[in-house]
Structure 1
Amino acid sequence: VNDLINKQLTTVDKSARESAIEDAQNALAKDISTLPLLQGAQVAVSGSGVKGVDTTLDASFKFRLGTVSK
């Protein structure tokens, strides 16, 4: 996977780069059924004119739905 990631970083051809990314994703999906990307605390910072930040956080304080507006 690391080799595929490095390959796509240096590949100029868009379709070849997409292919390398797809191959890396498939390799990871085969070995890891779930990849937890939301770990640790999240901090929400907004200005006074931004509404909806308090309602976008669920009981575990994770952003589950983005309904932020101005």
Structure 2
Amino acid sequence: MKIKTSITLAEDLLKVIDEQSGPHKNRSVFIEKAVRAYVAQVTRDRQNARDLDIINRQADRLNQEAEDVLTYQVLP
């Protein structure tokens, strides 16, 4: 379901939207796609930050495990 709303944008931004959206698209479609892309990026960034935090908290243990594995390798 779509809900009609109104927003206020800077004139220069509106000009860019009109240029980028092309002759067959409307502003609403362009802005909706842009907002969806932004929200998806923010969601990915948050997930990546959580994942990095988990990795960093486990780094010492993971590095020790990697060193242990390397000791089992046969060198020529």
TM-score by length of 1: 0.30
Larger Rg: 2
Higher relative contact order (CA 8 A, sep 6+): 1
TM-score by length of 2: 0.28
Between Structure 1 and Structure 2, the one with more helix by share is 2
